[in-house]
Each structure stands twice: as C-alpha cells, then as structure tokens.
C-alpha cells in the first residue's frame, strides 16, 4: 500500500505531531510481508484523548507481540486535518506505517463513550470502507469493537461485524489466530464470523434477530443460527499476575490529557454503587501483587522518562496493599523527583497520611466524590460515605497543608429532591468552615473549593437501569439552583452540558433502531459529539424524528421489571435478580455492604466466568 506523504500538509494543520506516528517506543514492522496481519486499533477521538487511554496501550503492546501481526494506531483527525484529507482525497491512514487502513484485515474501535459513535462512522467514511456491514465485500476489513459500551452495542449493529465482550488481552489474539486460518482459503465473511462466535467473549450481532412489541418495546432477541450462544458472555482475565502489561508506553511529542505512567493496581470493584456501570461490568475484583507492580514500574520508568506515576483502578484506595506500595514508591522514586498522583478518593477509608507521603515531590489538589448532597441520597445510591467522613478527610488535608479540594457530585439521581441539591451547597460551605477553623479563622487567597456536577445517565447492567433520566429542562433548573446556592468567592462551580447527557442516555439505552439515527446524524455533519462546541442537539432531534423515534421513549421514561432490554441477551456475570434487589433496596434507602466484607449474591461468583475469583 502507498504511504501518505505528510510533508506537504502538516505545515497547514494545528499540532502536526498528532499524525507523525514515530514517537518514542512506537512499534514498526515490515509491511512488505504478504503474510502480515494488519490490525488498526482506532480510538474515535483526538490523539491527545486516545493516547491517554490505558486500555489502548495494553492492546497495542499485546497484539504487537505476535510476530506476524502489526497493530497500528488510528485517531480521529481534527477538523482542520480532515478538511485537507477530504480536499486532497487522502484516505484514513494508520500512524505507524502511514498506509491507508482501507485494506487492513481488522479495523477495531474502543467504545469508551456513546457520543463517539459518529466519529466511528467518520473514520470508516474517510477510509473508504463501506459504513454499512451489509455492503462490505470479501476483501474489506472486519470491523470490530470492544470496551465498556460494547455491552450494549445494539445501536452499532448495522455497522460492526464483531463485538468483544470483556477484557481483550486474550480474546483479541484468539480472533486473530482464527483469522489466520480462515485467510488461507477466504471462503465467506459469514464463515469466519461463525467460527469465532464460539470463542468466549465474542458476540456477532448479525447472528441474532430482534422482534418488537406493538408498544415499541423489545419482544425477543434470539439466535438465527444453530450452535451459537444464546447468551454470549464476557471474557475476563483470571490471573492479573501473568497477564501482559506494557513494559514500554508510546511517549507522545505533545501534551496529552494524561502525560504520565499509569499503573493499574487491580480490576473490578466491590463497592456496589447503584449508578455505576463500571462497578458492575468489571467484576470480579482481581489484584496485582506489590512485587508485580514493582517489576512493571521499574521497566516503565526506565523506558519512558515520565516524572509522574498515576495509581489507577476503579477505587484505588481499596487496594489491599496500598500502604506497602506507597512506602515503596516514596522510598524508590521520591529521591528521583518522580511524583505520584491519585484519582478521586473515597472519603471513608483513605489515609491522609498516605496522601501526604506520596505527594512529597509535588502536592496536587485532592478530589473527593461524595456523589450526593444528603445522607439519604447517598444511601439510595449505596455510596457508603457520611458527612463525618468528609469532615474528617478534609480537616486532615487542611492540617497537612492542602489549600484546595474538589468535590464531585451527580444530579438527577433517582429520588433526588431540591433538599438534596441544597445538601451539595451545604457540604461546600462546610468545607470552607473547616478550612477557616484549621487556619484560625482566616481564609488564604490560595484556598478554594471546586464543586463539579455531572448529569445522571441510567446505564445498562446497573440497578438504576429501570429509571428514567431527568428531562433537559429539569436538569437545567437544578443547575441554575446550584449556581445561585454556590455563589461564593471561594467556590468554583462546574457542570456538564445537559444536552449531551440526554443523547448519551438515548444511545446508552438504545436498540438497533438507533443505528439509523446515528447514521443520519453523521450524514448531517455530526462528529466529536462529546465536545460541547461541536454538539448540536437539534441535529439529533431531527434524526430521531426522521426515524419516527422518541427521545422520551429511550431516555426519560421509567421501565418495568418485565420489560426486555436491548442488552438482556448479553451475560456480564451479574444477574438481573441482583440488580432488581438492589433497586428495591434503593427505594427503601437501604445500603448493601462492601462485597469484600459480605457476599451480596450478584451472581459473578456462581457464574462460570467468575468461579474461584470472587
């Protein structure tokens, strides 16, 4: 394949380094080898966002360890670059080889958020790959998706050939190895898809038919071929000690969202927050040992030159060996001026002494996530923290020298009232009072409280999947209420665009009919919908109306327990009975204990995919 000559065009675009593909630790292979399997790993957003995604780095490393497979990176071109590509008929290319992905064997996408779906169609269009899977011919690449949104990939069923459910390190390679066998004869695309449909963690949407009731709800989803799973279930990595983890990370030449080493401590979460999809779909919990983490870090520090290490997991402060790990990090890396950063912290179990210890190199702000403003609502969502936890944590932080704190909340949660919103304001003012008390009645100029709110989106496979989302009007009213309540020189209030959250809910809860909406919105110019400056709700409303579909039907209405969801035929290991039980407990303001202390019977332990792990 001919390489794209970038010399003439990169001077005309912002941030040319987005498209170079020769960064430190990038991998290059001889593409003249006819037996080489070409695999494009696409992150459907800007380079700076995609380069900060740990899962992409892991898959890039794992797949390239196969000698005869070349995994290359693809990111959505910025608008200026896309305009030049279309003007000069430059097809979408992979960064490493700068060759068009049109004739690759696999073009894969990670589904991290629903509003990136139009970017997926845009990349296929730029690559001259038929967007609709029914129009692809034998020589066209297979379009494969994975990631958290893949658990309800139904809105993309018109476009994708293969869906990966669960963790991809093993299953991706198994799919590629089966492809090598099939490629020798290249019978039909359907033959290959049928073969890999037997692999645990593979879901082929075209092998399942959907029927609807008269009220537009789903009647049934069932296989249309013999021998394929009735309920495809997710793949999990059982042994975190032996699973491959990059010894090198590709180091960009420009600033990205996260310019640092990301150290994954464990997967899964035992807290059971009822709004949190990740906490449900990533079960069971599996930790890496301190020894294994030390081995990984030694190589990553040597091979990247980064001066910061981020400890990453769904709930980092729940890592059982955190104290031992932080002691090692401080002893080993503080003398080398390498800093340690933490994600948002739980208020009920995190040691401020540990926070102080690991931030000796540079003291960053602290972020806590109470999620809700009152104890009643925190019990509803099963957050498991109290106002006393917040007071204790912030007081210790201020006593140790911190001058700022960030508080993260959700608005629009089930059963929320304006009293709960007032509780958000009260917590913010309580933090000011605590700081003033610690400082002997004074407020330093450097002091500040940042309050951030996002809009609740009911997600598949959560106890709140039966709830409707607040209307846009209701969300805007609540945001205005908080703006008034939080008007203070020491408080900064940030909130998320309610219009994007509305379409996120539509697509997250969408069935196959939403695919035509995504297609029509894309044809009308939709892309980078996760960015408020590019998003147009009017465009999406028009696409919904064109297809005779209702935003209310997908986003705002409440669901009954007997309704069939578009994703009910997918098995994530957490059973529906457990989700219903948790939703009922929410209605009674009852909490469930941490799974590490008592099994709540979610199903993952009894299920064959989690047996022996939980």
C-alpha 548/C-alpha 554 separation (Å) is 12
C-alpha 61/C-alpha 75 separation (Å) is 17
The answer on pLDDT for 342 being more than 80 is no
Confidence band, pLDDT 50/70/90 cuts, at residue 317: confident
Residue-level pLDDT at 142: 98
In sign, the C-alpha dihedral spanning 549, 553, 555, 561 is negative
Q: What mean pLDDT is predicted for residues 295-318? A: 92
C-alpha 78/C-alpha 13 separation (Å) is 9
The half-sphere exposure of 481 on its side-chain side, counting CA atoms within 13 A, is: 18
Confidence band, pLDDT 50/70/90 cuts, at residue 613: low
State the distance between the two ends of the chain, measured CA to CA, in whole angstroms: 48
The answer on pLDDT for 57 being more than 60 is yes
Tell which CATH architecture fits domain 10-223.
Answer: 3-Layer(aba) Sandwich (3.40)
Confidence band, pLDDT 50/70/90 cuts, at residue 412: very high
Residue-level pLDDT at 362: 65
261-264 and 308-312 as β-strands: parallel, antiparallel, unpaired?
parallel
Confidence band, pLDDT 50/70/90 cuts, at residue 397: confident
C-alpha 125/C-alpha 119 separation (Å) is 10
Three-state DSSP state, 185: coil
DSSP 316-338: GGG-TTHHHHHHHHHHHHGGGT-
SS (H, E, C) 536-566: CHHHHHHHHHHCCCCHHHHHHCCCCCCCECC
Helices (H), 95-188: 117-126, 168-183
Is the pLDDT higher at 611 or at 392?
A: 392
Residue-level pLDDT at 315: 87
Residue-level pLDDT at 258: 87
Is the backbone peptide bond immediately before 284 cis, with ω within 30 degrees of 0?
A: yes
The answer on pLDDT for 349 being more than 70 is no
Tens of pLDDT along 172-231?
A: 999 999 999 999 989 999 999 999 999 999 999 999 999 999 999 999 999 999 999 999
Residue-level pLDDT at 46: 97
Percent share of the chain, pLDDT over 90: 80
C-alpha 29/C-alpha 303 separation (Å) is 20
The answer on pLDDT for 522 being more than 60 is yes
C-alpha 352/C-alpha 402 separation (Å) is 11
Residue-level pLDDT at 606: 66
Tens of pLDDT along 469-486?
A: 999 999 999 999 999 999
Phi, psi of 5 (to 5 degrees): -90, 110
The answer on pLDDT for 359 being more than 80 is no
- Domain chopping of the chain, boundaries: 10-223, 261-496+573-587
Helix (H) or strand (E) holding 394: helix 387-399
C-alpha 465/C-alpha 541 separation (Å) is 23
- Beta strands of 34-186 (E only): which ranges? 37-43, 69-75, 106-110, 142-146, 162-164
The answer on pLDDT for 341 being more than 90 is no
Q: What mean pLDDT is predicted for residues 561-577? A: 96
Residue-level pLDDT at 356: 73
Cα 49 from chain centroid (whole Å) = 12
Q: Which of 398, 411, 528 is nearest to 476 (CA)?
A: 411
Residue-level pLDDT at 585: 97
Q: Please, what's the b/e burial string for 97-129 (b: 16 or more CB within 10 A of its CB; e: otherwise)?
A: bbbbbbebbbbbbbbbbbbbbbbbbbbbbbbeb
The answer on pLDDT for 614 being more than 70 is no
Q: Which of 399, 411, 400, 406 is nearest to 477 (CA)?
A: 411
DSSP class of 276 = -
Confidence band, pLDDT 50/70/90 cuts, at residue 345: low
- The chain-wide mean pLDDT, for the chain, equals 93
Residue-level pLDDT at 316: 86
Structure tokens that stand for 307 in this block: 């001066």
CB 452 within 8 A of CB 265: no
Q: What mean pLDDT is predicted for residues 501-510? A: 97
Residue-level pLDDT at 451: 97
Confidence band, pLDDT 50/70/90 cuts, at residue 551: very high
The answer on pLDDT for 144 being more than 80 is yes
218-223 and 208-212 as β-strands: parallel, antiparallel, unpaired?
antiparallel
Predicted TM-score (pTM) of the model is 0.95
Confidence band, pLDDT 50/70/90 cuts, at residue 435: very high
Tell which CATH architecture fits domain 261-496+573-587.
Answer: Alpha-Beta Barrel (3.20)
Edge-to-edge, what's the strand order for the sheet holding 491-495?
A: 366-371, 404-411, 448-455, 491-495
Q: Rounded to whole angstroms, what are the CA distances from 329 to 278, 320, 340, 596?
A: 27, 16, 8, 26
Confidence band, pLDDT 50/70/90 cuts, at residue 130: very high
Q: What mean pLDDT is predicted for residues 542-570? A: 97
C-alpha 575/C-alpha 580 separation (Å) is 9
DSSP 335-350: GGT-EEE--SB-TTT-
Domains 10-223 and 261-496+573-587 share a fold: no
Q: What mean pLDDT is predicted for residues 240-257? A: 93
Residue-level pLDDT at 350: 60
The answer on pLDDT for 406 being more than 60 is yes
Helices (H) and strands (E) in the chain, counts: 19, 17
Residue-level pLDDT at 390: 87
The answer on pLDDT for 550 being more than 60 is yes
Strand partners, 297: none
C-alpha 68/C-alpha 35 separation (Å) is 7
């Amino acid at each position: 394949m001919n390489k794209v000559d970038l010399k003439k065009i990169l001077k005309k675009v912002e941030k040319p380094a987005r498209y170079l593909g020769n960064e430190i630790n990038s991998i290059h292979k001889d593409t003249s080898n006819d037996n080489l399997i070409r695999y494009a790993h696409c992150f459907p957003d800007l380079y700076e966002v995609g380069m900060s995604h740990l899962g992409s780095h892991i898959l890039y490393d794992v797949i390239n360890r196969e000698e005869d497979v070349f995994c290359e990176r693809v990111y959505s071109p910025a608008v200026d670059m896309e305009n030049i590509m279309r003007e000069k008929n430059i097809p979408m290319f992979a960064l490493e080889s700068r060759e068009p992905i049109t004739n690759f064997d696999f073009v894969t996408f990670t589904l991290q958020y629903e509003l990136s779906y139009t970017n997926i169609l845009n990349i296929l269009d730029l690559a001259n790959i038929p967007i609709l899977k029914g129009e692809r011919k034998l020589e066209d690449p297979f379009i494969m998706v994975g990631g958290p949104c893949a658990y309800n990939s139904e809105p993309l069923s018109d476009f994708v050939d293969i869906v990966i459910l669960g963790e991809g390190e093993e299953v991706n390679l198994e799919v590629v190895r089966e492809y090598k066998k099939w490629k020798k004869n290249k019978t039909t695309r359907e033959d290959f898809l049928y073969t890999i449909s037997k692999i645990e963690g593979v879901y082929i949407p075209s092998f399942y038919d959907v029927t609807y009731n008269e009220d537009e709800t789903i009647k049934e989803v069932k296989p249309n071929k013999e021998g394929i799973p009735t309920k495809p279930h997710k793949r999990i990595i059982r042994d975190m000690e032996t699973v491959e983890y990059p010894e090198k990370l590709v180091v960009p030449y420009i600033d990205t969202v996260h310019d640092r080493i990301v150290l994954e401590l464990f997967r899964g979460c035992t807290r059971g927050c009822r709004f949190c999809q990740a906490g449900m779909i990533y079960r069971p919990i599996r930790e890496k040992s301190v020894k294994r983490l030390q081995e990984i870090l030694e190589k990553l520090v040597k091979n990247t030159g980064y001066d910061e290490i981020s400890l990453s997991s769904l709930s980092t402060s729940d890592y059982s060996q955190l104290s031992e790990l932080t002691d090692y990090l401080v002893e080993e890396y503080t003398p080398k001026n390498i800093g340690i950063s933490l994600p948002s912290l739980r208020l009920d179990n995190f040691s401020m002494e540990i926070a102080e210890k690991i931030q000796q190199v540079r003291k960053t702000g602290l972020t806590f996530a109470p999620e809700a403003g009152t104890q009643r609502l925190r019990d509803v969502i099963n957050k498991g923290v109290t106002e006393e936890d917040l007071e204790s944590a912030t007081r210790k932080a201020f006593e140790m020298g911190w001058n700022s704190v960030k508080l993260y909340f959700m608005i629009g949660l089930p059963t929320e009232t304006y009293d709960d919103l007032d509780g958000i304001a009260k917590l913010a003012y309580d933090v000011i009072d605590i700081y003033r008390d610690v400082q002997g009645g004074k407020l330093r100029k450097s002091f500040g409280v940042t309050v951030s709110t996002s809009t609740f989106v009911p997600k598949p496979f959560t106890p709140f999947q039966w709830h409707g989302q607040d209307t846009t009007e209701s969300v805007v009213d609540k945001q205005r209420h908080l703006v008034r309540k939080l008007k203070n020189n020491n408080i900064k209030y940030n909130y998320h665009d309610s219009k994007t959250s509305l379409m996120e809910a539509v697509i997250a809860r969408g069935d196959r009919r939403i695919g035509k909406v995504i297609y029509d919105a894309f044809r009308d110019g939709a892309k980078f919908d996760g960015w408020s400056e590019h998003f147009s709700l009017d465009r999406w409303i028009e696409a919904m109306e064109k297809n005779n579909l209702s935003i209310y039907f997908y986003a705002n209405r409440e669901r009954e327990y007997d309704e069939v969801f578009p994703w009910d035929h997918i098995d994530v290991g957490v059973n529906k009975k457990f989700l219903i039980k948790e939703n009922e407990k929410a209605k009674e303001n009852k909490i469930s204990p941490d799974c590490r202390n008592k099994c709540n019977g979610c199903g993952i332990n009894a299920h064959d995919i989690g047996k022996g792990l939980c």
